[in-house]
Amino acid sequence: MSFRCIIIDDEELGRNILRGYLEDLPEWDLVAEFENCLSVENFTRENQVDLILLDIEMPKISGIEFLSAQKDPPLTIFVTAYPQHAVKAFELEAFDYLVKPVPFARFRRSLQRVERHLAEIGTRSEWITIKEGKRLYKLDANEAASIQAYGDYVRIYTSEKTYITKSRLADFCKDLPRSFLQVHRSWYINLEHVEYLEGNAVQVGSNSIPVSSRYKESLLDRINA
């Protein structure tokens, strides 16, 4: 299993050190680096990110301000030269707080804890609650192959049945397990049910699902992981 990480730090030296540490951890892929927080939200919305390594004292928007404004951020580890912000960081549910200069052994232990946490989430059986008419279904999330926006409703496709429930796609899919990935503005897929990718379409069960260019790289990365 591989994990995807981004770095947000306005200091080049700080980014270089973290990048070098990650190169010695084969389970981790560094997918992007940022000098500030301004363009990160769009990136995390459109790409799978398991962990943010986040500095605090940065121009315009601090790391604390950035994390405070996020509705559902990836796991976050603060990496900073300022120990006095630790209480606020943990109030924001930061996964860890590392004070520069960070020894490699301490960094490695922190990321190993992240790995165990993400692995536990990935293997845990989770349920989707679907209200269809007067019936309320409890569906094992692993059984859902794909989910499609359908006006003010969503369709949930399984190998046995298609469910329809009233919801916005983003709201319905926000708490799904890590095996789900958005591939189009109207589609989420369960990577466990992918049969093949051909051109700009992915075959999931009986559905050939379009893949938008903005999501294709993320899909390829997840399939090849």
Model confidence at 118: pLDDT above 90: no
Model confidence at 125: pLDDT above 60: no
CATH class of this structure's domain 3-123: alpha beta
Backbone region of residue 111 per phi and psi (left: phi > 0; alpha: psi in -120 to 50; beta: other values)? alpha
Q: What is the mean pLDDT of residues 169-187?
A: 88
| Predicted pLDDT of residue 212 | 93
| Predicted pLDDT of residue 177 | 80
Q: Is 137 exposed, middle or buried (0-12, 13-18, 19+ CB in 10 A)?
A: middle
Rounded Cα distance, 174 and 25, in Å: 29
What is the CATH number that goes with domain 127-224? 2.40.50.1020
For residue 174, what is the enclosing H or E element?
Answer: none
Residue 196 tokens, joined: 């093949």
Choose between 43 and 86: higher pLDDT: 86
Q: What is the mean pLDDT of residues 94-121?
A: 93
**For the chain, domain boundaries:** 3-123, 127-224
Q: 168: which DSSP letter?
A: -
Model confidence at 2: pLDDT above 80: no
- What is this structure's pTM? 0.62
pLDDT bracket for residue 1 (50, 70, 90): low
